[in-house]
Amino acid sequence: MSDQSVAALRYEHGELHERQDSLTVERPLQIRINGKPYSVTMRTPGDDTYLVMGLLFTEGVVNLADAHEGVLKEVCDGEGDTVAAVDITIPDVYLCDDVFEKRSLLASSSCGMCGQREFDESGLDDPPLKPGAPLQLGRIASMMKAMRAAQTTFTVTGSTHAAAVFDADYELMCTFEDIGRHNAVDKAVGFLLERDLLQRARVLTVSGRVSFEIINKAYRAGLPYVLAVSAPSSFAVDIAARWGMTVLGFCREERATIYSNRDNTQV
C-alpha cells in the first residue's frame, strides 16, 4: 500500500473543516546480508526486491552485476508497524571489502548517503562515461511529461518522488515512485537489472533535486544524462562534469538549464 487515509483538520479562509487526506506510506525495511544486518532504509513499501537489487548495485555492495541473480532469498512483509525485512544470500566472492562497515544501521528516506559511515573519495577518479549521441533537447518535455503521467501516488498524496529511465530512442523503460528520491532510482535500476535491460538505458529523469548521491547512482548504472524538475547541487555538477555526465535542472514545460558537459546536447 503506497498511500494511507488519515483524518485531518484544514484551516481555510478563517474556518476549520474536517477532512480525510491521503498520505504517502513510509516504513522501515531491514536489509540483512548473509544473516548479518546491513542497513535499515526508510521507503514506501512496494517493489522492495527492485529496491534492494538496485541499492546493492548502485552502492557497490556487490562487485558484479550478475551476482544479483538468485541472491534474494525472501522479502518478508511486516505486520502493522513492525519492520519488514529482506534476507539476502551473496557468496563472499561477490561482496566488496568491509561491506558491513560502510553503512550505519539507519538510512533516511531523504538521503541514503547519510547512512554511510565513511565517504570514499577514491571512486571520484573513475573513468568518465561515454554518452553516445547528443541528448536532443527537444525531447525533454515529452520525457518529463511521461514521468509525471506515471506518478499515480504523487497525484493522490503530493509527497512522493519519481525516477524514470529512457532508452536511446527516448522511449520510457520504467518509472518508480517512493518517499525517497534515491529509493525511486534504486527501484528503477533494480527493475532493469532483473530484466537485463540496464545496458539499453541512457537517460534518468527525477522529480526533485539532484544531489551527489543521485549522480553517483546514475554513474554506477551507466546513465550519462540526468534530468531533474528542480536544481542540482554544486557537488553533483562538479562530479558529473568529471564523470562525463550531463546534468539538466529545472526541466519544466519547454525549459531546461544545462549545468555540465553542454557539448553533449543538441537543439
DSSP 99: G
Q: pLDDT, tens digit, for every residue of 60-98?
A: 887 655 555 545 544 554 555 556 888 888 877 777 766
What is the C-alpha to C-alpha distance for residues 236 and 242, in angstroms, rounded to an integer?
Answer: 10
* 234 and 160 in a common domain: yes
Q: Does residue 213 form part of some domain?
A: yes
Q: Does residue 7 form part of some domain?
A: no
* 256 and 150 in a common domain: yes
Catalytic residue among 76, 96, 111, 114: 111
Q: Does residue 249 form part of some domain?
A: yes
What is the C-alpha to C-alpha distance for residues 255 and 251, in angstroms, rounded to an integer?
Answer: 6
Q: Does residue 251 have an active-site annotation?
A: no
How high is the pLDDT of residue 73? Answer: 46
* 140 and 112 in a common domain: no
Which residues sit opposite 43 in a β-bridge? 27
- Regions of the chain with pLDDT less than 50: 70, 73-74, 77, 104-105, 113-114, 116-119
Residues whose CB is less than 8 angstroms from the CB of residue 264 and which lie 6 or more positions away in sequence, other chains included: 131, 134, 135, 224, 225, 244, 246
Q: Does residue 178 form part of some domain?
A: yes
| Structural domain containing residue 43 | 27-121
For residue 145, give the C-alpha cell. Answer: 511529461
In 155-238, where do the E strands start and end? 161-167, 172-178, 201-206, 225-228
What is the C-alpha to C-alpha distance for residues 262 and 21, in angstroms, rounded to an integer?
Answer: 43
How high is the pLDDT of residue 109? Answer: 52
- Of 55, 90, 121, at which residue does a domain stop? 121
How high is the pLDDT of residue 100? Answer: 67
What is the C-alpha to C-alpha distance for residues 111 and 32, in angstroms, rounded to an integer?
Answer: 20
What is the C-alpha to C-alpha distance for residues 199 and 43, in angstroms, rounded to an integer?
Answer: 26
How high is the pLDDT of residue 65? Answer: 57
- Which CATH number do you get for residue 235? 3.40.140.10
Q: How many domains does the chain have?
A: 2
Q: Does residue 54 form part of some domain?
A: yes
In 34-83, where do the E strands start and end? 36-43, 72-76
Q: Does residue 126 form part of some domain?
A: no
How high is the pLDDT of residue 76? Answer: 53
How high is the pLDDT of residue 97? Answer: 66
In this structure, the strands spanning 172-178 and 161-167 are antiparallel
Tell me which residue of 262, 4, 44, 11 sits closest to 157, measured CA to CA.
4
For residue 2, give the C-alpha cell. Answer: 503506497
* 97 and 170 in a common domain: no
What is the C-alpha to C-alpha distance for residues 22 and 27, in angstroms, rounded to an integer?
Answer: 16
* 260 and 143 in a common domain: yes
* 261 and 139 in a common domain: yes
Q: Structure pTM? A: 0.84
Q: Does residue 183 form part of some domain?
A: yes
Phi and psi at residue 10, to the nearest 5°: -105, 130
* 103 and 32 in a common domain: yes
Q: Does residue 16 form part of some domain?
A: no
How high is the pLDDT of residue 82? Answer: 56
* 168 and 239 in a common domain: yes
